[in-house]
Amino acid sequence: MTADRYLAQAGELLQRIRDEQGENICRAAALMSDAIARGGAVYVFGSGHSVIPAMDIFPRYGSFVGFRPLLDPRLMWFNVLGPGGVRELLWLERTEGYARVFLSSYPLTARDVMLVFSHGGLNAAPLEVALEAKSRGLPVVAVTSLSNARIAKPTHSSGKRLVDVADVVIDNCCPPEDALIAVDGVAEPLAAGSTVAAVAIGMALVAEVGSRLAACGYHLDVFVSPNVSGVGPEHNLAVFAAYERFLRRLAAEGS
């Protein structure tokens, strides 16, 4: 069954990440836990399909205040064709200069960390987010495909790829084409792997960062499923209030 083949491939992909990228995940988590502990933020960015792990890190059941997703509706799709569609998104994320304008709304400082998801690591949007973060003194963590980086030439006028900018690179261990399954009679492979990989890496970072913060006595404001026994509606209201305070503090200290 082809579905079984995909699930087996996805399982092998996650095992490779565990075996090969654990050290890099821990290096990234150390930067992130230090940033949050000193009152900073972990900003999280992705465009196109890479917005999915950025959205999933927070707010998400089991995650906590300290992560700040950078979500731009112009860099994700909510339609296939027409306004908000894929063609417009693909054009904009490859257009140089937009990311700096987008980031001007956020109080990035050297106390923070930037986490960028991009399978290809070539498009202007994720690369320029990383470049702008570096120019403001932030360490940059990239989740990307090293297999793609080894064969891809830069397309940005800087001559750089995401892997050339990041302080820590976490390989998503996916092939350049992303899709994992060859099917008889179909020229192109099917069924992408990078989203499974990126979301798993994102949750591994949440777990490791949270563990490190808790070990230091840092209070975590954890977003919790209402299906958890004994958790009332006031719990997540308190988390939202904590997130509001977090945003206000970042704005005040970044001004």
Grade residue 130 by pLDDT with cuts at 50, 70 and 90. very high
Topology classification of domain 2-254: Rossmann fold (3.40.50)
pLDDT at residue number 255: 62
pLDDT digits (tens, 9 = 90+) for 140-167: 999 999 999 999 899 999 999 999 999 9
Q: Which long-range contacts (CB under 8 A, 24 or more apart) does 225-231 make?
A: 225/61, 225/62
Beta strands in 62-195 (DSSP E): 67-70, 113-117, 140-144, 168-171, 179-181, 190-192
pLDDT at residue number 156: 92
- Tell whether pTM > 0.85: yes
Q: Does residue 127 surpass a pLDDT of 90? A: yes
Task: Find all residues with CB under 8 Å of 10, minimum gap 6, and list them.
Answer: 180, 193, 196
Q: Does residue 187 surpass a pLDDT of 80? A: yes
| pLDDT more than 90, % of the chain | 90
CA 151, CA 187: separation in Å to the nearest integer?
Answer: 21
DSSP annotation of 65 reads B
Grade residue 186 by pLDDT with cuts at 50, 70 and 90. very high
- 68-to-40, 129, 184 alpha-carbon distances in Å: 10, 14, 43
Q: Cα-atom radius of gyration of the chain, to the nearest Å? A: 18
> Are residues 10 and 192 in contact, defined by beta-carbon separation less than 8 angstroms?
no
pLDDT digits (tens, 9 = 90+) for 13-56: 999 999 999 999 999 999 999 999 999 999 999 999 999 999 99
Which two three-digit tokens encode residue 40? 């900073």
Domain ranges of the chain: 2-254
Closest listed residue to residue 225, CA positions, set 68, 105, 74, 60? 60
